[in-house]
Amino acid sequence: MYGKGKKVITEYHLNKNQPDRPQFAVYDLSDYLEKNGDKASKPHIHSFYQIIWFKKGRGKHFVDFKDYDVSDNALFFIARNQVHYFDRHIDYKGVLIHFNETFLIRHDDETDFFLKYNISSSPYQQPSCSIDGSTNDILDEYIRQITRELSGREEFGREDLLRSYLKSFLIQIQRRKNGFEKEQGDQNSLVAWNEKRGKLLQFVNLVDEYYNKGLSVGEYARLLLISSRTLSDITHQLLGKTPLRMLQERIILEAQRLLLHSGLNVNQVGYRLGFDDPSYFVKYFKRHAGISPAEFRKSVS
């Protein structure tokens, strides 16, 4: 079997399945990389969410087989199960935030927060953004409040305050990403845009859950309680892609992850992704990735 002696990609956890231990952590980026640079510079995944705020420094950060520029005040969102790693630079200045989903979401009526603020493992959008000086000051204040709360002796209400600060941090970033302050449309158009965006994010989450089940675009649309035409209009307007292409991209991304970071052979990868016929999986991968699974694995390795 391919991968004999090959180390499967490392997965890191933040007190997983230990609710009595902290589900949230904040680190100085420079200190973290100095202590953990060897591990952080190798491809890995998390079962938690990570926010990387590069305040100072230039280089590259790698997310799901793509490299992205790092510059002053670049902010990266790394979702669960996304393969990523740092370059070899350790002179970055910034902040690293780790949190489990259970920390942010405590009640059933809060489950839409991940949809509303686009905290998901979507491979369809840029994993980073740049923030300006005014946003920088606001985020810095939240970090100061978080650090003060973590280092204080008062335990009453600590988790509630930390959750509130984290949510506020994320909301400020999403405002800048979406350019709400510069939106020129009327209130009705803003409401319509938000509704479409909400449906898109629901679709992304459904794809992430069922991409290996062979569901058709029509079946996804029915789960969303909309027509296939409406779903196509939404994805085309907001992403410039068809729903089918999004499904294909998600399958290929998972195939690439497994090919590069697991000991499964090509046939086993195909089975894991829901392909009953290994030869069809090879043809499917080559048609959408432009290279065969074996060639991809060899070239990247």
The reported pLDDT for the residue numbered 181 is 41
Q: Is 84 helix (H, G, I), strand (E, B) or coil?
A: strand
Q: What architecture does CATH give domain 10-179?
A: Sandwich (2.60)
The reported pLDDT for the residue numbered 184 is 45
**H-run or E-run covering 143:** helix 133-151
State the amino acid at position 297 in one-letter form: R
The reported pLDDT for the residue numbered 83 is 87
164 contacts: CB under 8 Å, gap ≥ 6? none
The reported pLDDT for the residue numbered 8 is 62
pTM: 0.78
The reported pLDDT for the residue numbered 182 is 46
With beta carbons less than 8 A apart as the criterion, state whether 120 and 201 touch: yes
The reported pLDDT for the residue numbered 169 is 93
Cα torsion 157, 171, 181, 54: sign: positive
The reported pLDDT for the residue numbered 120 is 52
Asked whether this chain's domains 10-179 and 246-300 adopt the same fold, the reply is no
Q: Is 184 helix (H, G, I), strand (E, B) or coil?
A: coil
Kindly list the domain boundaries of the chain, sorted by start residue: 10-179, 187-243, 246-300
CATH of domain 246-300: 1.10.10.60
The reported pLDDT for the residue numbered 4 is 42
Instruction: Please spell the DSSP secondary structure of 26-70, one letter per residue.
Output: EEEHHHHHHHHHHHHTS-EEESSEEEEEEEE--EEEEETTEEEEE
- Per-residue pLDDT tens, the chain, 301 aa: give them: 334 434 467 889 998 878 788 899 999 999 999 999 899 998 888 989 999 999 999 999 999 888 999 999 999 999 888 889 999 887 899 999 999 988 887 665 454 555 555 555 456 667 888 888 888 999 999 999 999 999 988 889 999 999 999 999 998 888 777 664 444 455 556 667 778 888 888 898 899 889 999 999 999 999 999 999 999 999 998 888 999 999 999 999 999 989 987 889 999 999 999 999 999 999 999 999 999 999 998 886 5
The reported pLDDT for the residue numbered 278 is 92
For the CA atoms of 196, 79, 17, 145, the dihedral, rounded to the nearest 10 degrees, stands at -90
